[in-house]
A = this chain, B = another copy of it.
Amino acid sequence: MPERSSVQQVYSVVLDRICLLKYPPHTLLREGELAREFGMSRTPIREVFLRLALMGLVASRNGVGTFVTGMDYLGYRDIYPLRMKVAELIGDLSPRSVTSRDIDRVVRLEERARGLQAAFDAREYWDLNHALHFTIGSLIGNSALRDLWDRYYYQTARIWYAIAERDAADTAESFVAEIEGTLRGLRADDLKAVGYVQRNGIAVTMRKVMEEVNPDTGEWLREPPRLTALRRTTG
């Protein structure tokens, strides 16, 4: 069972679990437990936790444990506008030119996305969004900008994933439209257009997120089970 893994692999797995809400906010993660699962000692797990902590996704409390952070309204309020700006810069800062491979890849994503309209599947939606994100990311020539593109993606992934499930039909439709717009931009080798399409998609999500909170208190108006579950990983 305990197969050896590298720090990078464990980081990816735990990151995915947090973003996919398999580890919902406030979940207690224990170093020893993950160490056993991945067949390594606590030391590399601590490194994974530190990296996740610097991403703002977990926080350790001495003597207590390491918790998945809550979805903080104030954090999203700050990150989303910046994420939109980053999208606007995609076509601005030395973009890579589009190849037919890129287009083919997105065409295939479009087909799969249309399938979502018939039967929505959260996991499939996640995979498609993931693929689209990294395809676009690969076109960003500026490495620092690409880092931000990824960073803010992961920092906001949980909340859009949670919200996507609220209104599956609308989510699927918007997603197909987003891919179509992206494709138009790619075919024109107009990465600025691609960036603006992304910006608009992010803006729509941000609006949805902000509609979920009480602007005075900053509290979430309704909390689906997946956001509130305070479960231990044992059991």
Contacts and interface: CB of A to CB of B under 8 A. Distances in A.
A82 B51 contact: no
A142 B54 contact: no
A81 B152 CA distance: 19
Contacts of A17: none
Interface in A41-62: 47, 50-51, 54
A162 to B, nearest CB: 20
A64 interface: no
Nearest to A88: B85
A109 interface: no
A93 B81 contact: yes
Contact of A78 (B50, B79, B142): B142
A63 to B, nearest CB: 16
A78 B47 contact: no
A75 interface: yes
A87 to B, nearest CB: 12
A78 to B, nearest CB: 4
B142 A75 contact: no
Contact of A79 (B79, B82, B89, B144): B144
Contact of A51 (B50, B81, B89, B145): B50
Contact of A93 (B54, B75, B82): B82
Nearest to A43: B43
A154 to B, nearest CB: 13
Interface centre among A85, A89, A93, A94 (most CB of B within 10 A): A85
Interface of A: 47, 50-51, 54, 74-75, 78-79, 81-82, 85, 89, 93-94, 142-145, 148, 152
